[in-house]
Amino acid sequence: QVQLVESGGGVVQPGRSLRLSCAASGFTFSSYGMHWVRQAPGKGLEWVAVIWYDGSNKYYADSVKGRFTISRDISKNTLYLQMNGLRAEDTAVYYCARAWKEYCSGGSCSGGMDVWGQGTTVTVSS
Amino acid sequence: QSALTQPASVSGSPGQSITISCTGTSSDVGGYHFVSWYQQHPGKAPKLMIYDVSNRPSGVSNRFSGSKSGNTASLTISGLQAEDEADYYCSSYTSSSTLGFGGGTKLTVL
């Protein structure tokens, strides 16, 4: 079945780095744009980043721009989020999610995310 | 970054209809057809309920409908059921090529 499984979360000190992974299965990973979305404890959803189906474009929330990098490895059907310079405010559950539209570009990558992982928890604390 | 405005809470009795609003600007909700709605139960991942303003994914009940007028999008749930009690989030593409979420609305079924 169509599935996304995140991993790589944990407890990390401020300023350190962490890389999250999202393993995709049950669909043609290379045909879909992918997002990272996070949710701080007791708070709402916050979009983090998107990568188009072909990896040609990547966009980031202002809160993570310059610190986080989204990427994908088609050969491994895996999405990544490299997080550098972590701050306490980055503490959250991180979800990967699939854009509903195949071969999306521009706004069509953001019309809806139809498959979500279960989330991985990142805690930034000294 | 886009910050869409939703009511913090709404409530309704079983069988009734409720509407959740999502207000943005011409740079997000009003400017694009890329508005979506998500349902989230406690401790669970969000679930897509509406995409591209008014389309329902396969498997989502037709009691859920979406619309947009100007800078405000709306999610309507008819025939409220106990299982509809959850948090609901809207999102919209923005002119910065980013995505913004609303603050979320807690739906209580009385």
Amino acid at A117: G
* Of A95, A97, A107, Cβ closest to residue B93: A107
3-class SS shares of chain A: helix, strand, coil, % to 5: 10, 50, 35
Q: Each residue of A18-48: pLDDT tens digit?
A: 999 999 999 999 999 999 999 999 999 999 9
Q: Each residue of A53-103: pLDDT tens digit?
A: 999 999 999 999 999 999 999 999 999 999 999 999 999 999 999 999 988
Identify from B98, B101, B105, B106 which residue to disrupt to test chain A contact, counting A C-beta atoms within 10 A and taking the largest count.
B98
Residue B1 above 80 pLDDT?
no
Residue B100 touches chain A, beta carbons under 8 Å = yes
Residue A11 CA to residue A91 CA, distance in Å, equals: 9
| Beta carbons within 8 Å of B103's beta carbon, 6+ residues apart | A44, B3, B4, B5, B6, B8
Q: Which residue of A has its CA nearest to B47?
A: A114
Q: What pLDDT does B71 receive?
A: 97
| Chain A hits for B32, Cβ within 8 Å | 107
Q: Each residue of B14-25: pLDDT tens digit?
A: 999 999 999 999
| Chain B hits for A107, Cβ within 8 Å | 32-34, 93, 97
Residue A119 above 70 pLDDT?
yes
Quick one: what percent of chain B has pLDDT higher than 70? 98
Q: Each residue of B41-54: pLDDT tens digit?
A: 999 999 999 999 99
Q: Please count the other Cβ atoms lying within 10 Å of the Cβ belonging to residue A110.
A: 30
DSSP H helices, A1-126, are none
Residue B2 above 60 pLDDT?
no
